[in-house]
Amino acid sequence: MVIVNLGKEGGERMGVGKYELGRTLGEGNFGKVKFARNTRSGQPFAVKILEKNKISNLNTTDQIKREITTLKLLKHPNVVRLHEVLASKTKIYMVLEYVTGGELFYKIASKGKLTETEGRKLFQQLIDGVSYCHNKGVFHRDLKLENVLVDDKGNIKITDFGLSALPQHLREDGLLHTTCGSPNYVAPEILANKGYDGATSDAWSCGVILYVILTGYLPFDDRNIAVLYQKIFKGDVQIPKWLSLGAQNMIKRVLDPNPKTRITMAEIKEDPWFKEDYNPANPEEDEEEDINNIDNAALSIMEVPHEAEEKSPRSPTLINAFQLIGMSSCLDLSNFFEKEDVSERKIRFTSNLSAKDLIERIEDIVTEMGFRVQNKNGKLKVMLENKAHKSVGHLSVATEMYEISPSLYVVELRKCYGDASVYRQLCKRLSNDLGVPSSQGLISSGLK
């Protein structure tokens, strides 16, 4: 695979194979997404550029391999198309369909709720795309507004299959067991941790998306993740009376907390409200591909060279919201956020600042307060050896950050030894200056 600089008056353009790379469309944990154009046909694409060393350091090789494997199988008008995958010694280039309209999240955040007619059309396309995936043996497992794109014609494109599951991921009981997804969209049976049907749980997430499309806000929301999970378990959703009876019934049936009685994809397609003005999509028919061959091809692409760069010392520990369960003695996480433990040695709070900004701000604040700080691979150690003021004792505090999503971090402060009153002052200052305001939850205020 050849990377070249294409000469241009006034500067240079970077080329990857037959693609000319342009502006950056977005950035993620592993690299950037850039606009690209095929130099032969002029067709636009989005190229996802993944840094192999970051993938290796964050132990997400399987996640990227899974996304490549899955997208190679899917050819549907409402699923983002993967055209080809290129690789160099240090990078992977996923050449994807270019979708001009951005995330459905931003459309709802800027416009508020959509009309029932417009919302039903998007829901029909969502169900078309998701049910097609299920027929191919693919379960998305992270359906949310941010993973649904909208093109210039108002049609949706499902994207981000990094958490998807294929038939080989089913256990002997025929169920999936990996706890994953996004808190506000996750089905209750996933939280129960007893195994779940991928199609049924995807249906629940589609129901959450439908609710937001028609109302402008989430059906289940709370900044305390334990309370949020309790709401999801109960499935006690407040359905606005101003929605039509057909829409109300659809929401009620798809957000049924019991997966055994929840409406299925096939039943959704037979619902009178859903079928109104319904024009089913026509997926592209092609020869069946061998999943194992694709899987092996993806694995070879993912091989990381020996000369991979050293991991950045500022890289935070990557953690999803469901791994937080493993950091608590039970599902009740009410003591996880913004609470001290009984010994007052450990305090955690959430922040929307980036990892880089968090580290810099913490260093500035504690230095201003008279502390000494050491930074080792993104883990801070804050120390106070007070020689000038006898009234204040010695203190040592360890600080660590956990990334839940690109816009949400958990900061953990742990007292190693020292003065409890000074420790509380430090924690209060950091949480007040850096923490999420009490009026903001786990999703952008644009959907409140």
Residue by residue, DSSP assigns 82-94 as EEEEEE-SSEEEE
Q: Which residues sit in the known binding site?
A: 48
Average pLDDT of span 306-315: 37
Instruction: Kindly state the DSSP code that residue 306 receives in the 8-state scheme.
Output: T
Query: What gap in Å lies between CA 343 and CA 434, rounded to an integer?
Result: 23
pLDDT-derived band at 66, boundaries 50, 70, 90: confident
Catalytic residue positions, numbered: 142
Three-class DSSP category at 410: strand
pLDDT-derived band at 224, boundaries 50, 70, 90: confident
Q: Which residues contact 208 (CB under 8 A, 6 or more apart)?
A: 144, 184, 185, 218, 219, 220, 255
Q: Beta partners for 349?
A: 411
Q: Which residues sit in the known binding site for ATP?
A: 48
Question: What tokens appear for 57 in the block?
Answer: 């350091």
Query: What residue ranges define each of the domains in the chain, with the CATH number in brackets?
Result: 3-98 (3.30.200.20), 104-275 (1.10.510.10), 317-443 (3.30.310.80)
Contact 27, 16 (CB under 8 A): no
pLDDT-derived band at 289, boundaries 50, 70, 90: low
pLDDT at 133: 95
Instruction: Kindly state the DSSP code that residue 447 receives in the 8-state scheme.
Output: G
Among 372, 399, 376, CA closest to 387: 372
Name which of 14-23, 254-263, 311-320, 384-393 the model is least confident about.
311-320
Q: Which residues contact 330 (CB under 8 A, 6 or more apart)?
A: none
- 142 vs 316 pLDDT, higher one: 142
3-state helix, strand, coil in the chain (%, to 5): 35, 25, 40
Q: Which amino acid type is present at position 440?
A: Q
pLDDT at 199: 96
- Residue given tokens 């699923």 in the structure block: 79
* 317: enclosing H helix or E strand: strand 317-318
Query: What gap in Å lies between CA 159 and CA 81, rounded to an integer?
Result: 9
DSSP string over 18-83: TEEEEEEEEE-SSEEEEEEEETTT--EEEEEEEEHHHHHHTT-HHHHHHHHHHHHH---TTBPPEE
Among 204, 187, 214, CA closest to 447: 214
Q: Which amino acid type is present at position 152?
A: D
Q: Is the pLDDT of residue 321 over 60?
A: no
Three-class DSSP category at 278: coil
- Whole-model pTM: value is 0.65
* 415: enclosing H helix or E strand: strand 408-418
Tally the C-alpha atoms within 13 A of residue 198's C-alpha that lie toward its C-beta: 28
Q: Is the pLDDT of residue 294 over 60?
A: no
